Structure formats: C-alpha cells, structure tokens
Structure 1
Amino acid sequence: ISVRINYRICPFNEINTGTWGFHATGAVDTENSAHDQMQLRYQALHHQFIASALATKQLHAIDPDAKIGSMLARMQTYPATPNPADVQAAQVEDDKNLFFTDVQARGEYPEFMNRFFAENDIQLQMAPDDQTILAKYPVDFISFSYYMTTVTQADAPEQVNGNMATGGRNPYLEESDWGWQIDPVGLRVTLNEMWDRYRKPLFVVENGLGALDQLTTDQQVHDTYRIDYLRKHIAQMKAAVQDGVQLMGYTMWGPIDLISFSTSEMSKRYGFIYVDQDDAGKGSLKRYKKDSFYWYQKVIKSNGEDLA
C-alpha cells in the first residue's frame, strides 16, 4: 500500500511575538538601551526570515508538493471612531502586525517598515544575497492565531484589561474571564483582509477560549460558553469561504487543558478535555471529557456542517 502524505509545515510559531518582548523569542533581553534592544530584536527577526526562506527552498527540493507557511499572532485593529486620524492610526497598527507576513509572503520588506527603520535608526545587517533569497522563496500559505481584536485611536485610548491585549476597549464586544475581547465577526474581517492582501491560502491554526471551567461532583464540565464561542467563530469562517477566501483548515486551541503560556495558570483552561490539576500543580491529572468534546466531535464528523 502506497500512502501519500501532503506536508504542511510552519518553521516559526507566531513569528511577530519576537519584537514584543513578551515571548522573549528571537532575541535575549539585555540591559541595553531601548534602541539597542529594538535593533537586536529586528536583526534577529531578519535572520528568522532568511531561515524561513531557506527552509522553503530545502523543503521544495525534498518534496515539490509539500507546502511551507508563516505563522502570525493576528491582531485585527479597528479605528475607535470615523475620525480620519483614528483610521490612519489603526492602519499603522495593522500594518505593524502584517509586516511579518508581508516579508514572508511577498518576499520583500514593505516600504512602511523601511520608513520605520529609518525613523528609529535601525540598520539591518544583510548578507549580499539576503534580499534575493527572500524574493525567491516566499511561503506557500499563511497561518495565524486569532483570539481577539483591538481598537486604536490617535490619542490615548481606554486600555483593555487582558494580558497580551493592546489598544482600546471595544464597547460592542464581550470579554473572556481574562479580559480578552471576543469578536467572531472579526475573524471573517481578518480572513478577508489577509486574502485580499496576499492571495495565498489561509489556515487558522489557533483559536479558542480560556475560561474558568468547573468540574461538577459527577465529573462533568458544562462549558456551553466554549461551545458558543467556537460555533460563532466557525460560522464566520464559513461566511468568509463564501466571500471567496481560500481557507485550508482550522484547529482550535487546544484539545486538552494545559498551563497557559500567557499567565502560567492551569485555571485558564482552553481544552475540551479537563485535566485535574490546579495552579499549584496539585491534582490527580485524571482527564474528563467536557460537553465541548462531544460537540466538537460532532462538528468534525460533519465537516463543520452540524454546529447545533
């Protein structure tokens, strides 16, 4: 029996987080000045861009049918008001988020980042053939995580409470237990915008709800809020496909409860399988299927058609 495996590979997870300082990826924090630290981070990021392009070259040489992609922590940004200054400020913030996929998908640094580098005295050191490598080996598809959207205005906005969340508060959206604003329609918005910008297949590889789940005395977790969250996001993806977006797939974060990276808590649970462990690491580690497990099982079995 001959089995053909179609590989889909992303060399770097949420590549844009290396410049935030939160994940501390791409560069090691030092006691350098803010400018020197920024210089260091963007230089390290450039090396990641080159590594991604070379990985694309090598994978295609090994298997011409294999596909390699980028992976972005997507933060869709809305203007706080119709004020042109707010619209322009939101555009700037959105460009900052999409700069990473611009390089990996288009094979060159966008003009707005060249201006940013000049204004902030950032000078990237490039090998003679770096720009040729970027242009010749762009990614085949674009994947991203999606959890929330943000609001931007020209002057100081009201800040959201959620960790990792930036920008202003959107009064039209509900929030998770950790202050992350829930925006299913925003997923359709970002899918359409990214499809229009790149015309490459898209893949939602992270999307989910961190919540305070409670295990009942009969060992059940009735997480209807998670089912509602996933249902609404999947429905918006289906609408985006009807809009013409080429969507490769969707994977929710994550199948099983684990320690949340963003808060180092076990109590911030994402999975459809409950793990008996608390924030101090105490518990039996036994697994229990939540209501969302059986719902998601039905969704997969029906290829997304049965969302009831």
Structure 2
Amino acid sequence: MSFPKGFLWGGATAANQLEGAWNEDGKGVSISDISTGGSAKQSKRFTPVFEEGTYYPSHVAIDHYHRYKEDIKLFAEMGFKVYRFSINWTRIYPTGFEDEPNEKGLAFYDDLIDECNKYNIEPLITLCHYEIPFEIVKKYKGFASRETIDLFMKYATTVFERYKGKVKYWLTFNEINNGTNPVGGPLALGVLGDTENASEFIHPVNDDPEVRFQALHHTFVASALAVIIGHQIDPNFKIGCMQIMATSYALTPDPKDQILNQQHNHIMNWFCSDVQCRGAYPRYMNRYFKEHNINIKMLPGDTEILRDGHVDFYTCSYYMSFCQTTHDNREEVAGNMMGGTANPYLKASDWGWQIDPIGLRYALNEIYDRYQMPIMVVENGLGAYDEKGEDGMVHDTYRIDYLRQHIEQMKEAVEDGVDLIGYTSWGCIDLVSASTGEYAKRYGYIYVNKFDDGSGDFSRERKESFYWYKKVIETNGEDLTDVDTTDLRP
C-alpha cells in the first residue's frame, strides 16, 4: 500500500491563531479578535467591547506576521509540498465596507505566497477561517443578512484577481458545518446574538436556530458564487469546501440508536457538504426544518447558483469520533467545537478528545462513496501539553504515535479506492488553540516559546516530530518508524 505520486504533504494554520499584529498596517477587527483566552476548564468569551486587562490571544498569537519567512523556511526544511493558511478578511477590507482594499494587507499575502512558491510549496488558501469583520457582525449579524454576500464577494474577487497565477487551491469557508451548532454561529457565520454584551464562547447568548440556518444559506450562496467567479477569473483554480468530519457511531445495536445516529450524521456531517458538493439541499432537511420551525428564505436564482457553484474537491478536519444513544447511561466527552457520547473502546487526549484513527478510514470511505471527488484531510493532529526533555528537545512521541496511526489509516483508505490527494496536519507550528484560546494546547512540529502567562520570546525550536514528519514526507508516507534524535539535539 502506498500514497499516490505527487501526494500533497504539508501543514495547516489559520490567520487569527498565528499571525498576531491584529491592528497593524490597517487591519480591522475580526470576530476572533473579540474572543478572549480560556482554558479546558474555563470557556472563552466574546466581548464586543474590549475589556482592559483581558487577554485576547489573536492580538499577538505567535507573531507569524513578522516571522513568516522563518516559519516558511522551517516548513520547507520538513519538505512541505503544500501549506494551508487563511487570509484574514480584515487585512484586506478592515471593516468589510470599504470600496478599495488595504494595499498593505494585500502586499503581506503577496510576500507570504511568494515565500511559499520560492520553496515550491503549494499555497492552499482558506478565504474565511473564523475571521469575519466585526463591523459586519455588528451591522448585519454576519451572514444573517443577505447584504453580507456582496461584501464577501468583493473580498473574494479581490484576492482571486490579485493572486491568480500564484495560487491554485482555494477553500471558501472553514468548517462551514460548525454553523449547524450554536457555537458556530459567531465563528463560522458571524451571528452573535448580543453585540453589546459579553457572552460565553461555548454557549452564545440569544442563539436563534432559524437565524443561524438562514445565515448558513447565505453562506452557501456566497461559497457557490465564489466558485463561479473564481473559475471565471482563473479556470485553473481548484476551489473546495471544508467541513468538520466528526465520525459518529450508534452506541448500541438498538434501532433507536441507529436512527438517532443517522439523523445526527445528516445534520452534522452531510448537510453542508451535500449542498456544496452536490449543489442542492438534501431532502432530509425538509423534515428537520419543519420539526424545528425553521423557514429558509431563498431568492429566485439561489437554486441555480448552488447548482452551478458546487465545489471541485472536498476537504475536512478530523480529530475524533463520537457515539449517539437514546439511553441514559452515557458518558459525555468533548471534541472539536462540540461534544458527544463516549466510546468505551477508545482512549482520549489530554483535552478529552477521543482518539479514533480507524474512524478516519471509515469517514474517508463514506465521503468518497457519497461524492466521488478528490479529498484532502486539511486538519488532523494532537493537542497536548509539551515539555522539553533534559536534552532541551520536546520528545513528543505521543504526537508521532497519533499521527502515525492516522496516516496508516489514510493509506488503508487509498487502498480501498479513495481518491485522497493531500494531508495538511493541523497546527504544524504551535499556535493559539481555537477551542480554548490557550498556548498550552500545542499541536506543532515546531515549538514556539510563548506561554499563557504572557512570558516567552516567540523563538522557534524543532520537536522530535519535526524530524519524523520530514522523513514521512521524504518517503511519501512509506517510512513511519521512529527517528533517532541523538545527534539532532538543540
């Protein structure tokens, strides 16, 4: 078993989690910029009015804005074939309402893309990765208003035209199906129920499912229009969707559990990708909308836009799986922006996310059977507490074990016949956690000396996994064995 020739190995990040420089060179405030720090035990908060003395992790992050050349050079040393990153909308249009883009923001991404191309690293750019301008959130409640579609299209058209010929792969919206959950309202859709008072990140106040699903519809239209216009600007563009793939099993053979799991998968794992990959709303949503008193307002032409603007390829994040049950004797566990019932056959990470490599193979087969289009896994990784050993290096063998098992299952999926074309593990360099807003939850192959108490000099150091992943890429996934770092100590 082997990966196809030309397989795209690399890593993934998001602007709000690594760039910092939140108000430099004309950048405006995004929804992530008003999100405070938190921890595994204390929820982040959205604070529409900045609170003095409160920590906002996106404001500094890991200072990639000033250190991108150093970081891309390290990615090149590992042998990256592709680097997934996002453009922060508010660097290009600070409020979203400007008639002309911010040239300094465009120039920064020019330089970043050029640096990738210098090392033959293919840029994979996410247009909107939880970075909706806060002024749009305040005026329109994000995509709850149809006017936001035009604002997004102005932004998308600007960057498509600016970077055509230098970028081939694009994603429209990050984890768009997070919008089916209350926590995804502010992040994925810009729907913040209260734009004057602080609210919890996990339980946003005044969540209105009808407003949220209407916003999701507008986001579908915006994504489809971006695909259509992107292909007009550059026919060589490949434009994909990006979903949270949270593999879900029925906890028991009880038929009621089977139906509950099917319903969960319909809403969480298939609804958004059905629209984006197949170009139409799936029939099972009719009953869901009816039973939840949700009425989606569509304009004439929306159906044709969705049909014509289906994506070229499918991508997803994959970290863990859940179970579903109708029975009361269940244990709840955490996960990527959501929770679920624990699987008694699985172990969990330091943050309680259940580790299920086989679930990735299962998911990839389900996705490919459903859509028959190329797939990339664009987020996968282990958030963990990292500590340096006596030799000064982080020996993150636990991360290597996690990644090895998932890569092995991707190889099985390729053997099953899945058209898997790339893998960008999440947080290839330590950055701020999206779910908890802390540095302590580290994912990277590169250790960043920055800590939640504010200390640290942002210096970068290679972990043991850095050398391991370099070998994986060199051998196109053939050699997944451990590495000897004896002669590689800092």
With a CA cutoff of 8 Å and minimum separation of 6, indicate the structure with the bigger relative contact order.
Answer: 2
Q: Distance in 1 between matches of 2:425 and 2:305?
A: 33
Aligned partner (choices 178, 182, 189) of residue 17 of structure 1: 178
Partner of 1:177: 350
2:231 to 60, 64, 74: 60
Q: Relative to structure 2, which stretch is displaced further, 16-25 or 144-153?
A: 16-25
Alignment of 1:193-232 (within 5 A): 193-232=366-405
Residue of 42, 45, 62 corresponding to 2:216: 45
Amino acid of the structure 2 residue aligned with 1:276: N
CA distance in 2 between partners of 1:200 and 1:303 (Å): 22
Match of 2:193 in 1: 30
Cα deviation per residue 1:131-175 (whole Å; 9 max; x = unaligned)?
111112211111000000000012343211457342211111110
Contact 1:89 1:153 in 2 (8 A): yes
Q: d(CA) in 2 for partners of 1:192 and 1:139?
A: 19
**Number of aligned residue pairs:** 306
Q: Following the alignment from structure 1 to structure 2, what is the Cα–Cα distance between the partners of residues 53 and 295? A: 39
- Distance in 1 between residues matched to 2:395 and 2:205, nearest whole Å: 47
Give % identity. 52
Say which is worse superposed, 20-29 or 127-136, in terms of deviation.
20-29
Contact 2:381 2:426 in 1 (8 A): yes
Q: TM-score, normalised by structure 1?
A: 0.94
**Aligned-partner Cα distance in 2 for 1:161–1:247:** 28
Opposite residue 174 of structure 2, the aligned amino acid is N
Residue deviations 1:187-222 (CA, integer Å, cap 9, x gap) = 000000011111111110000000011023432101
Contact map agreement 1:29 1:37 (CA 8 A) in 2: no
Residues 58-90 of structure 1, C-alpha deviation per residue, up to 9 Å, x if partnerless? 111122232111100111100001111111111
1:235 deviates by 0.6
1:118 pairs, out of 269, 280, 290, with 290
Task: Report the counterpart of residue 364 of structure 2 in structure 1.
Answer: 191
Deviates more, 1:59-68 or 1:192-201: 59-68
What is the distance in 1 between the residues matched to 2:347 and 2:461? 28
Partner Cα separation in structure 1 for residue 336 and residue 416 of structure 2: 32
Aligned to 1:142: 314
Letter in 2 for 1:160: V
Unaligned stretches of 5+ residues in structure 1: none
Contact 1:8 1:67 in 2 (8 A): yes
User: Aligned pair in 2 of structure 1 residues 159, 192: CA closer, same or farther (>3 Å)?
Assistant: same
Question: Distance between the aligned counterparts of 2:404 and 2:431, measured in 1?
Answer: 22
Task: Look up the SS of the partner of 1:77 in the other structure.
Answer: strand
Range 16-25 or range 130-139, more displaced = 16-25
Match of 1:80 in 2: 251
**Structure 1 residues 84 and 34, CA, compared in 2 at 3 Å: closer, same or farther?**
farther
Q: Distance in 2 between matches of 1:293 and 1:268?
A: 17
Mapped contact 2:193–2:206 kept (Cα < 8 A): no
- Describe the shift of the 1:163–1:65 C-alpha distance in structure 2 as closer, same or farther (beyond 3 A): closer
Structure 2 residue 326 is matched with structure 1 residue 154: yes
The amino acid of 1:123's aligned partner reads N
Cα–Cα, structure 1 residues 229 and 36, in superposed 2: closer, same or farther, change >3 Å? closer
The answer to whether the Cα contact below 8 Å between 2:180 and 2:267 also exists between their aligned partners in 1 is: no
SS state of the match for residue 11, structure 1?
strand
Structure 2 unaligned regions, length at least 5: 1-119, 121-164, 196-203, 482-490
Whether the aligned pair in 2 keeps the contact of 1:200 and 1:246 (CA below 8 Å) is: yes
CA separation of 1:101/1:91 partners in 2, compared to 1, >3 Å: closer, same or farther?
A: same
- Aligned twin of 1:240: 413
- Name the CA shift for 1:96/1:34 in 2 (closer, same or farther; >3 Å): farther
3-state SS of the aligned residue for 2:363? helix
Please state whether the residue corresponding to 1:10 is helix, strand or coil: strand
- Contact 1:163 / 1:179 at 8 angstroms: preserved in 2? no
State the Cα deviation string for residues 243-292 of structure 1 (Å, max 9, x = none).
00001100001111111111111110000111112112211222111100
Contact 2:320 2:335 in 1 (8 A): no
Q: CA RMSD in A?
A: 2.0
Q: Which residue of 1 aligns with 2:340?
A: 167
Task: Verify: 1:93 aligned to 2:256, yes or no.
Answer: no
8 A contact 2:194–2:206 mirrored in 1: no
Where in structure 2 are the equivalents of 1:289-308 lying within 5 Å?
289-308=462-481
Shift of 1:125: 1.2
Q: Cα gap change, 1:35/1:126 in structure 2, threshold over 3 Å: closer, same or farther?
A: farther
Q: For residue 456 of structure 2, what is the amino acid of its counterpart?
A: G
CA distance in 2 between partners of 1:266 and 1:38 (Å): 32
Query: Take 2:342 and 2:399, find their aligned partners in 1: how far apart are those partners?
Result: 22
Q: Evaluate the alpha carbon distance shift between residue 27 and residue 158 of structure 1 in structure 2; reply closer, same or farther with a 3 A threshold.
A: same
Q: Is the 8 A contact 1:219 1:288 kept in 2?
A: no
Task: Give, as a single letter, the amino acid of the residue that structure 1 aligns with 2:278.
Answer: R
Letter of the 2:416 counterpart: D
Of 18-27 and 199-208, deviating more is: 18-27
**Normalization by structure 2: what TM-score?**
0.60
